Structure 1
Amino acid sequence: MTKIIYIEHNGTRHEVDVQPGMTVMEGARDNGIPGIDADCGGACACSTCHVYVDDAWLGRLPEKEMMEEDMLDFAWHPDPVKSRLTCQIKVTPDLDGLVVHIPERQI
Structure 2
Amino acid sequence: MTFEHVFADLGGIPANRLTDAQGLAGVLLAAANAAGLNPANPPVVKIGPKGVSAADVAGLSGALPQRGLEVIIKRFGAREVRTDARRRGPVTQAIHPEGP
| TM surpasses 0.5 | no
TM-score scaled to structure 2, two decimals? 0.29
Q: Give the number of the structure whose residues are more often helix, by fraction.
A: 2
TM-score scaled to structure 1, two decimals? 0.28
Q: Give the number of the structure whose residues are more often strand, by fraction.
A: 2
